[in-house]
Amino acid sequence: MDNKNYKPASILLVEDDDIDAMSVKRAFNRMKIANPIVRAKDGLDALEILKNGGVKQPYLILLDLNMPRMGGLELLDIIRNDPQLESNVIFVLTTSKDDEDKLAAYKHHVAGYIVKEKLDEGFEQLVKMLDHYWRLVELPVI
């Protein structure tokens, strides 16, 4: 797709697992998608990055739920109650298949809830979906 107005979205990857974080980055490289990726290892790191402008706009957030110090649902609650951050586009990327986690995430208006185990082709399916998403959807500049 050749769109002169297309501005690649940055990604804030909030993931405590080094292997999963590396797998996401490798999938982007394999598919030759060069969107900038900034990693936070937990919710506290992510908040600091968001508050200090450490991720280039426009951006979206890939958020794990089960992390040390501050988990994903707690971070979601803080983001959605912060007027400067509330319009962030967030996809949950997690191992949790728990219906309570899904419901809690969607109550915080996530754009999608993706269970890592369902990604048959590894993270390449995720990268394909995101590539189509940000080429079609206008992301807010916060």
Report the DSSP beta bridge partners of residue 11.
37, 60
7: which 2 tokens?
């501005």
- Is residue 69 a part of any domain in this protein? yes
Q: Name the E strands within 41-109.
A: 59-63, 90-94
80: which 2 tokens?
């959605």
- Is residue 130 a part of any domain in this protein? yes
What is the reported pTM?
0.88
CATH label of the domain that carries residue 35: 3.40.50.2300
- Is residue 132 a part of any domain in this protein? yes
Domain limits for position 78: 10-136
- Is residue 79 a part of any domain in this protein? yes
| 55 DSSP assignment | S
Averaged confidence pLDDT in the chain: 88
Longest dimension (CA), the chain: 42
> DSSP per residue over 60-78, as a string?
EEEE-S--SSS-HHHHHHH
Which burial class, exposed, middle or buried, applies to 2 when counting CB atoms under 10 A from its CB (0-12, 13-18, 19+)?
exposed
- Is residue 77 a part of any domain in this protein? yes
The total of structural domains in the chain comes to 1
Element (H, E) at 38: strand 37-40
- Is residue 5 a part of any domain in this protein? no
- Is residue 141 a part of any domain in this protein? no
For 23-80, what is each residue's pLDDT tens digit?
889 888 888 888 899 999 999 999 999 999 999 888 999 999 999 999 999 999 999 9
- Is residue 122 a part of any domain in this protein? yes
| pLDDT at position 137 | 82
